[in-house]
């Protein structure tokens, strides 16, 4: 301000100096000019001096005024500067005090304003986080449990949106107790987080406890509002302080407030006086008291207890209970009349084992006099009297038996026994524990029913034994189409489980299970229509059934008088098979003889020699020395060579079989390497694998070693097995060639994933010229497996086959122990699977 004043003062002083110099110059000029002038000039000089004096006076006045104004402005700005300095000092003092107050206790303050996007955060951040990141505080979920974080987040949103203040106690994940308080101040939303301890912590806990108590009180009041009986509470002066909805309805008040305001009492004056006397003595008052409830007089069971700040009471309406008791009494009377008309004896004993009720059937069964029963005798007394009169079963130790009978009073489950009384009487005794204590006895005389059941069971056993000894299957279906009677032969013929038959299956279920065994599915359909059809006339029915397993069954159906249907099945397989086998065997012998005579005589020269020439000429054509072939010619020559080689292999197999049949084939045993032999056999079928799109896996152990056998024939065996498996496999399937040692035996196993072999054809797969190629790409003549079996028999081994439709086929070749040579090899390792 001082520099400003000087800047204003300097221009004014310069201006005054210039005016003084000008006045002096004018004076000098006038004096110099006065000498040559006349009197008029003197007059003019006087006027000029006067004007100069007036001008100087004006300039002095202006300068004085300006100086006074400058002094006044300087003083005003000095006062303003001093006021601003004082205000700044006060603000700094307040800021220091605020910082002292803020640091006086561990807390964090967050302030939001509408003009700022980011909040201002001050305080001890270590209360909630170890990282010096103020923004992390606003991530409540990082340091609070989910419930507390969600509640605080909603409270802050309401504070910032509507200025709604809040205060809540929170607990951090580390166990620290804090208080969160939010308020709107000066257009800002302020959130303060304080660490509470000592008295403040105790206050916070008391607030939480108060909240829980208030919540429990509201819950209990809500519960009382839903109770159908009147409930009320009184203050220390004995005035009504709170009532539930049932109380409001009982005193016919408009609402709870109106009932409390007018002090509407439910109980009469005498009852209230008695309750007050009990409360003064510190006792609970319990009594039955009459009262007018909703305009009608009722009897209430009232309980009122005193407390530190008043009392509370509840009244239970006994009118419905009394009505229910009357209804129970009427119902008990009706039940008594009903039980008295039953043929089953009923006796009810209480928990003290005294007779409380009995019906006429009970008296008749035991021949007891009404006078004796009206005395309500004990259960033990009745048993003693019945024993004396000889009406109870004979027991070796009556006291032990009696104790067992009376033990039902300590049981909680219903028991049932049969007592065999004198005179061949049979009594069914049921004991039922009474929920109110005691026992209910039910005595049912089953003598006549037992005699009828015995006669019926005897007839059934005779009938059953007769049917069970029959070799023919017998089944009787009732009018409902369900199996009513059968013998074991029926289940054996149709491969039906006994458990299924015992469940009385329907004819539909039986025919469905038997249909797969019949070559003609219509056979079972016709049988089902005869049993469950709606024909106008029931006729007999006979048919011979040919099954897929080769069994032939003669079926006969006969209607029974009661509407049931009798079906018998007789196994005629033996007679049919004998005739068929004789014909087949005769034909097989004739065909084999003819085959042997024809092929052995002609194949060696008429087929083998020309075929060898063809193969030789085709190979010669492939040699470039006789001329180059084009691509098509070379392809066709390859087809010729391949087909010729296949045909030659077939001829060689036929000749080998003929040689074996004539016992002219000799083996050349040697030590052969198993892994190498498997690899050579796999190499021979590579073209077939490629053509059929089938993968080959070779599985063996590293220590599989070698064994003694004819290497050529072993390779021939494996080649035939692999060719057969590949031929019956489809594209994408796998064939496995495995080798293993089993008890010093060498075992080869070829497995495919093809269509499998039906059970009825499994025994024919080793027959010569038998090949079931339907549905496959295999076109063999049926000599491969026959050759395998013949070569295995020459080695003294055996070949096994396992197959099922849709599950593939496994062929196992087992070479005997005497041909196996054990070698010293490295330690066994896991079997390896080599895909080809």
From residue 303, give the alpha-carbon distance in Å to each of 234, 239, 580.
13, 17, 100
pLDDT for the residue numbered 834: 36
Distance between CA atoms of residues 657 and 637, nearest Å: 30
Q: Per residue in 40-73, is it b (16+ CB within 10 Å) or e — as a string?
A: eeeeebeebeeebeeeeeebeeeeeebeeeeeee
pLDDT for the residue numbered 738: 93
- CB-count exposure of residue 508 (10 Å: 0-12, 13-18, 19+): middle
pLDDT for the residue numbered 447: 81
At 503-522, the pLDDT tens digits run 889 988 888 888 888 888 78
Average pLDDT over all residues of the chain: 79
Residue 122 has pLDDT above 50, yes or no: yes
At 402-415, the pLDDT tens digits run 888 888 888 888 88
Looking at the DSSP bridge assignments, the partners of residue 812 are 749, 800
Q: Are 420 and 393 in contact (CB under 8 A)?
A: yes
The SS3 call for residue 815 is strand
pTM: 0.30
Q: Nearest-5° angle of CA 173, CA 174, CA 179?
A: 75
- If one compares 18 and 255, the residue with the highest pLDDT of the two is 255
- If one compares 186 and 780, the residue with the highest pLDDT of the two is 186
Residue 27 has pLDDT above 50, yes or no: no
Residue 34 has pLDDT above 60, yes or no: no
Distance between CA atoms of residues 603 and 781, nearest Å: 15
From residue 718, give the alpha-carbon distance in Å to each of 682, 698, 771, 805, 813.
8, 12, 18, 23, 9
Instruction: Pick the closest to residue 212 from 245, 267, 169 (CA basis).
Output: 169
Calculate the dihedral angle through the C-alpha atoms of 555, 556, 560, 566, rounding to the nearest 10 degrees.
-20
8 pLDDT band, cuts 50/70/90, is very low
pLDDT for the residue numbered 749: 93
At 150-199, the pLDDT tens digits run 998 899 889 888 888 998 888 888 878 888 889 888 778 888 888 776 55
Residue 492 has pLDDT above 60, yes or no: yes
Average pLDDT over residues 71-96: 84
Three-state secondary structure readout of 448-473? HHHHHHHHHHHHHHHHHHHHHCCCCE
Distance between CA atoms of residues 135 and 146, nearest Å: 18
From residue 660, give the alpha-carbon distance in Å to each of 585, 596, 656, 739, 771.
21, 12, 6, 26, 21
pLDDT for the residue numbered 17: 40
Give the tokens for residue 244: 């539930």
814 pLDDT band, cuts 50/70/90, is very high
747 pLDDT band, cuts 50/70/90, is very high
Residue 126 has pLDDT above 80, yes or no: no
Distance between CA atoms of residues 285 and 276, nearest Å: 9
751 pLDDT band, cuts 50/70/90, is very high
Average pLDDT over residues 783-806: 85
Number of H helices, E strands in the chain: 24, 29
Average pLDDT over residues 539-562: 85
692 pLDDT band, cuts 50/70/90, is confident
pLDDT for the residue numbered 273: 87
Give the contacts of 811 (CB within 8 A, at least 6 positions apart).
Answer: 721, 724, 725, 749, 750, 751, 785, 788, 799, 800, 801
At 551-581, the pLDDT tens digits run 888 899 888 888 888 899 988 888 887 887 8
Instruction: Pick the closest to residue 373 from 362, 384, 365 (CA basis).
Output: 362
At 230-253, the pLDDT tens digits run 988 888 888 888 888 888 888 888
Phi and psi angles of residue 501, each rounded to the nearest 5 degrees, phi first: -65, -35
DSSP assignment of 651-682, as one string?
HHHHHHHHHHHTT------EEEEHHHHHHHHH
At 601-652, the pLDDT tens digits run 566 556 667 777 777 777 777 666 666 777 777 777 777 766 666 666 666 6
Distance between CA atoms of residues 756 and 804, nearest Å: 5
Which residue carries 């105790």 as its tokens?
202
Residue 748 has pLDDT above 90, yes or no: yes
Give the contacts of 471 (CB within 8 A, at least 6 positions apart).
Answer: 489, 570, 571
Residue 421 has pLDDT above 50, yes or no: yes
CA torsion sign, 610 to 615 to 618 to 620?
A: negative
Average pLDDT over residues 729-742: 90
Three-state secondary structure readout of 693-760? CCEEEEEECCCCCEEEECHHHHHHHHHHHHHHHHHCCCCCCEEEEEEEEECCEEEEEEEECCCCCCHH
pLDDT for the residue numbered 818: 57
Instruction: Pick the closest to residue 431 from 450, 445, 446, 412 (CA basis).
Output: 412
pLDDT for the residue numbered 22: 37
Instruction: Pick the closest to residue 725 from 776, 767, 761 (CA basis).
Output: 776
pLDDT for the residue numbered 593: 65
The percent of residues in the chain predicted with pLDDT above 70, rounded, is 82
Q: Nearest-5° angle of CA 300, CA 302, CA 308?
A: 160
Residue 54 has pLDDT above 50, yes or no: yes
pLDDT for the residue numbered 349: 92
Instruction: Pick the closest to residue 477 from 537, 396, 535, 531 (CA basis).
Output: 531
pLDDT for the residue numbered 607: 65
pLDDT for the residue numbered 38: 52
Of 148-152, 196-200, 363-367, 542-546, the poorest mean pLDDT is in 196-200
Residue 37 has pLDDT above 50, yes or no: no
- If one compares 235 and 775, the residue with the highest pLDDT of the two is 235
Residue 3 has pLDDT above 60, yes or no: no
């Amino acid at each position: 301000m001082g520099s400003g004043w000087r800047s204003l003062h300097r221009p004014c002083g310069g201006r005054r100096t210039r005016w003084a110099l000008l006045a002096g110059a004018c004076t000098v000029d006038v004096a110099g000019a006065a000498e040559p002038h006349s009197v008029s000039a003197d007059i003019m000089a006087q006027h000029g001096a006067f004007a100069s004096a007036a001008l100087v006076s004006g300039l002095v006045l202006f300068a004085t005024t300006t100086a006074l104004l400058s002094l006044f402005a300087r003083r005003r700005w000095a006062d303003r500067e001093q006021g601003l300095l004082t205000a700044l000092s006060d603000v700094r003092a307040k800021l220091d005090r605020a910082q002292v107050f803020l640091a006086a206790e561990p807390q964090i303050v967050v302030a939001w304003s509408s003009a700022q996007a980011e909040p201002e955060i001050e305080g001890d951040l270590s209360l909630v986080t170890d990282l010096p990141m103020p923004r992390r505080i606003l991530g409540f979920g990082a340091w609070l449990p989910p419930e507390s974080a969600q509640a605080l987040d909603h409270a802050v949103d309401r504070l910032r949106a509507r200025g709604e203040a809040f205060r809540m106690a929170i607990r951090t994940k580390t166990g620290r107790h804090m208080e969160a308080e939010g308020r709107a101040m000066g257009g800002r939303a302020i959130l303060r987080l304080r660490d509470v301890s000592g008295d403040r912590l105790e206050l916070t806990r008391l607030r939480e406890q108060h909240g829980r108590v208030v919540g429990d009180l509201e819950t209990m009041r809500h519960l009382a509002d839903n109770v159908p009986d009147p409930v009320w509470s009184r203050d220390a002066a004995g005035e009504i302080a709170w009532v539930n909805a049932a109380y409001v309805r009982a005193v016919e008040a408009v609402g709870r407030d109106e009932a409390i305001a007018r002090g509407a009492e439910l109980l009469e004056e005498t009852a209230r006086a008695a309750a007050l006397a009990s409360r003064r003595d510190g006792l609970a008052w319990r009594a039955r008291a009459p009262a007018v409830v909703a305009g009608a007089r009722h009897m209430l069971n009232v309980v009122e207890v005193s407390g530190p700040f008043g009392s509370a009471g509840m009244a239970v309406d006994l009118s419905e209970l009394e009505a229910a008791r009357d209804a129970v009494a009427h119902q008990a009377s009706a039940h008594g009349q009903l039980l008295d008309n039953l043929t089953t004896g009923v006796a009810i004993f209480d928990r003290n084992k005294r007779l409380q009720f009995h019906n006429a059937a009970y008296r008749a069964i035991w021949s007891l006099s009404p006078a004796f029963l009206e005395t309500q005798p004990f259960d033990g007394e009745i048993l003693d009297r019945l024993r004396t009169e000889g009406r109870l079963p004979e027991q070796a130790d009556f006291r032990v038996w009696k104790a067992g009978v009376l033990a039902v009073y300590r049981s909680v489950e219903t028991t049932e026994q049969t007592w065999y009384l004198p005179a061949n009487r049979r009594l069914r005794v049921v004991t039922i524990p009474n929920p109110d204590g005691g026992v209910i006895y039910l005595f049912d005389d089953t003598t006549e029913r037992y005699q009828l059941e015995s006669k019926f069971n005897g007839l059934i056993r005779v009938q059953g034994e007769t049917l069970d000894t029959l070799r023919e299957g017998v089944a009787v279906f009732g009018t409902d189409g369900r199996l009513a009677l059968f013998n074991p032969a029926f289940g054996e013929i149709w491969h039906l489980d006994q458990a299924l038959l015992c469940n009385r299956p329907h004819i539909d279920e039986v025919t469905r299970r038997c249909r797969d065994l019949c070559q003609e599915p219509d056979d079972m359909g016709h049988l089902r229509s005869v049993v469950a059809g709606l024909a106008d006339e029931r006729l007999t029915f006979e048919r011979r059934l040919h099954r897929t397993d080769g069994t032939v069954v003669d079926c006969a159906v006969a209607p029974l008088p009661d509407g049931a249907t009798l079906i018998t099945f007789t196994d005629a397989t033996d007679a049919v098979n004998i005739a068929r086998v004789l014909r087949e065997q005769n034909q097989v012998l004739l065909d084999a003889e003819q085959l042997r005579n024809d092929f052995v005589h002609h194949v060696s020269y008429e087929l083998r020699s020309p075929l060898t020439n063809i193969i030789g000429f085709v190979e010669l054509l492939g040699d470039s020395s006789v001329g180059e072939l084009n691509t098509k010619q070379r392809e066709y020559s390859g087809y010729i060579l391949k087909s010729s080689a296949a045909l030659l292999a077939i001829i060689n197999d036929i000749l080998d079989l003929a040689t074996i049949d004539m016992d002219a084939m000799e083996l050349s045993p040697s030590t052969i390497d198993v892994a190498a032999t498997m690899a050579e056999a796999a190499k021979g079928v590579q073209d077939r694998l490629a053509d059929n799109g089938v993968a080959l896996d070779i599985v063996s152990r590293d220590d599989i070693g070698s064994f003694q056998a004819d290497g050529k024939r072993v390779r021939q065996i494996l080649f035939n097995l692999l060719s057969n498996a590949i031929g019956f496999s489809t594209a994408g399937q796998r064939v496995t060639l495995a080798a293993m040692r089993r008890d010093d035996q060498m075992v080869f196993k070829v497995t495919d994933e093809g269509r499998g072999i039906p059970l009825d054809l499994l025994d024919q797969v080793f027959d010569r010229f038998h090949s079931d190629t339907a549905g496959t790409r295999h076109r063999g003549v049926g000599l491969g497996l026959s050759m395998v079996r013949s070569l295995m028999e020459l080695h003294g081994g055996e070949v096994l086959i396992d197959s099922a439709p849709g599950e593939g086929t496994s062929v196992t070749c087992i070479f005997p122990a005497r041909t196996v040579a054990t070698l010293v090899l490295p330690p066994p390792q896991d079997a390896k699977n080599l895909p080809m």
